[in-house]
Amino acid sequence: MMSAFCAALPDPGACGGTPPLKWTSRDQERKPEPMLEITNLHASVGDRPILKGIDLTVHAGQVHAIMGPNGSGKSTLSYILAGREGYTITEGSVTLDGRDLLTQSPEERAAAGVFLAFQYPVEIPGVSNATFLKAALNGVRRRRGEKELDAMEFLKLTRTKCRQLGMTDEMLKRAVNVGFSGGEKKRNEVLQMALLDPRLAVLDETDSGLDIDALRIVSDGVNALRGPDRAMLVITHYQRLLDHIVPDRVHVLAHGRIQRSGGKELALELEARGYAEFGADEAA
Amino acid sequence: MTLNAEDHSHLTPGPPWLEALRTEGRCHFAQLGLPTPRQEAWRFTNLAPLTQPRWQIAPPASAALNPGPLPSVVPADHPPSYRLVFVNGYWRPDLSSTSGMPNGMVLTGLAAALIDHADLIEAHLGRLARADTQALVALNTGLLASGALLVLPPGLMLERPVEVVMIGTGGESDPPLAWHPRLLVVAGAGSRATLIEHHLSQTHHQNCANLVTELFLGAGAQMRHYKTQRENPASFHLATTSGRLDRDASYEGFLLTTGGRLSRNEVRLVLDGPGATATLNGAYLVRGQQHCDTTTLIDHATPGGTSSQLFKGVLDDEAWAVFQGRVLVRPGAQRTDGQQLHRALLLSDRARIDAKPELEIHADDVKCGHGATVGDLDDDALFYLRARGIDRDAARSLLIAAFITETIARITDPVVAAAFESLADGWLTPG
Ligand SMILES: Nc1ncnc2c1ncn2[C@@H]1O[C@H](COP(=O)(O)OP(=O)(O)O)[C@@H](O)[C@H]1O
Ligand SMILES: [Mg+2]
């Protein structure tokens, strides 16, 4: 039954509309050291176990997709990688470039190269986007032992990146994410990613709330950041984002565990059949 | 000696009406005594710690003290303010600068003003501040020895701001010092001015300022009145302000409190002419054992008045803040618009806030609203900032500054807004 399903898939190379990649996964085979290594990760909120033994290895240059039904623990995993409080790690480990991640503060992880593009970017009234971006950039640069940027250097760099993402200067003056449309919020996330130059980018449902044009702009922005020294974890419920950001590997997360892993064609399979076979209790 | 009105030997005898006023003040204080938490208006602020130190009135010898650099909100490249300086309660003409005042304007020490402006002072002093019911006003009146007089003739549009600077100072061996200054402001019809008060300490010496301010705003007068109190954390600051707004007058007040062991700002504004507008905003940032009380009464006595208040407070450690805001709309004060909002941010679960907003409405055609909120820092926002590489402390400071900004941004004088913003930032990054 499985093979019959696979046979019906279109030639993966012919997937409609896939932008040409600047980088292909073949090159990373020269670098056997894993960048992100998640081993047997168990995590709870209060008494409630949410992640129940996650194993995942991502190498530099790779893009991995994590797909799964609502409530399967995708955001939980991404928050744990970024260091949010409120989760108890009951078992397992996470390392980035061989260094333990779980003992680091969120700001240490940011400097080490973890970047989480939030599913719901937070609105911060009273703090201008420019103030926020400059504090973030210089915070990370200071920890990385790099020279901090002065106001002029910062503005020049940010303006260039903004233009690439179709963002206006006016969005720099506004309070962080306050009154931003869904598309503007996600573009703002990609702008932050471009400025902070992460090792590992975790994109949590970056496609949610985007129309097709916004989706293209955001994905182009993300694709432009693919490179041999960077890895990405693209978390999504739907396959359509993966038409734009084509992954090297796809993992299915359900009930707090990775149930299956495969190539990008696995995403199409899930799109066609839903998550029912993984016992998803959601209606979708 | 404790804080009382018995010892008034330091007072220079004044004209008979002033002596009568002082005697009356001392009598009232003898009857009233210091306020206690048994009184509704003082429920949350206990002045008992005020009775511990053996307060003395600063000796006139201290009139030679050098108070160090004098603060000003005015940047160096702007025309300077007219500035009155007080050290330990005494007016210091040698440190003050009032040259270039327009015709008819008066800005001088109150005692000195008795010579030339006795009639005007007699006609206004004690007419708004109530010595018969307010104990601290009674004490101030009974011991009235110094203060400032600001008179704006009708129609005067004052360009340069007026700054009143009150500095406390003292050495290790000096006793705790108390002073009772009076600020008397008479703004003629159609006049306009900006008045800034600075209250600060030069040293760690313990002081008690018991300040009374009376503000008379004539028809159409526009007064911007901004105050920063940043005294040391051993000192007491008690300030009672009474203002009366005539027809179409407008008052914009701002209270920035970061200092003092115990501070109270009690402000009463009477909208006493149709179309008067009172704006009273403030921010307080307190930590340690500080106690900070803001008590306001906006009294809409006439129709068509507008009042708005936005107070924001930040409390850390074991600080305790009190906000009592009362908006009173008297019978006949139709078409009143009275708004009031108090928001507090608690940075510690040992901090305490008592907020008591009150509306008392005796007219039917009014638009009034009030609200009070207490919260802590938004964890989601904090995590978002930290996940972007901003240190925890820097992220907290950003969020606290963002919280306070909303009220400081309402200061319509941009120079003062910038100065107050940086005072608030200074609190966030001490040392
Ligand atoms: N802070 C929390 N408190 C309680 N339950 C939580 C919390 N965060 C997540 N959960 C639960 O954990 C499960 C996984 O949530 P989440 O990681 O947000 O899923 P996804 O992103 O895959 O939709 C859900 O059942 C959710 O209700
Ligand atoms: Mg999610």
Tell me the helices (H) and strands (E) count for chain B, helix number first: 6, 21
Residues of A in contact with B403 (CB under 8 A): 126
- For the stretch B162-220, pLDDT in tens is 999 999 998 888 899 999 999 999 999 999 999 999 999 999 999 999 999 999 999 99
Burial category of B33 from C-beta neighbours within 10 Å (exposed 0-12, middle 13-18, buried 19 and up): exposed
Rounded Cα gap, residues A95 and A57, in angstroms: 10
B407 → chain A, closest CA residue: A126
Residue closest to B272 by CA, chosen among B295, B297, B243, B296: B243
| Matching CATH number, A32-274, of 2.60.120.260, 3.20.20.80, 3.40.50.300, 3.40.50.2000 | 3.40.50.300
pLDDT on residue A260: 94
Q: From the CA of A47, how far away is ligand 1's center (Å)? A: 13
Quote the ipTM score: 0.88
pLDDT on residue B332: 95
Q: Which residue, chain included where needed, has tokens 């009380």?
A: B293
Q: From the CA of B378, how far away is ligand 2's center (Å)? A: 20
- For the stretch A17-45, pLDDT in tens is 444 444 444 544 555 679 999 999 999 99
Question: Could you state, in order of their start, the residue ranges of all structural domains in chain A?
Answer: 32-274
Q: Which one of A116, A126, A192 has the shortest CB-CB distance to B402? A: A126
Q: What's the gap in Å between the CA of B266 and the closest CA on chain A?
A: 29
Question: Could you state, in order of their start, the residue ranges of all structural domains in chain B?
Answer: 16-273, 380-431
Residues of B in contact with A192 (CB under 8 A): 388
Residue B59's pLDDT band, with cuts at 50, 70 and 90, is confident
Q: What's the gap in Å between the CA of B8 and the closest CA on chain A?
A: 50
Q: Which one of B378, B381, B392 has the shortest CB-CB distance to A107? A: B392
Q: What's the gap in Å between the CA of B343 and the closest CA on chain A?
A: 15
- For the stretch A74-108, pLDDT in tens is 999 999 999 999 999 999 999 999 999 999 999 99
Q: Which ligand is nearest to the CA of A66?
A: 1
Rounded Cα gap, residues A27 and A30, in angstroms: 6
Which residues lie at CB < 5 A from ion ligand 2? A 74-75, 119
pLDDT on residue A32: 62
Rounded Cα gap, residues B167 and B202, in angstroms: 7
Residues of A in contact with B410 (CB under 8 A): none
Residue ranges around ligand 1 (CB below 6 Å): A 45, 50, 68, 70-76, 86
Rounded to two decimals, the pTM is 0.89
Rounded Cα gap, residues B261 and B281, in angstroms: 22
Residues of A in contact with B343 (CB under 8 A): none
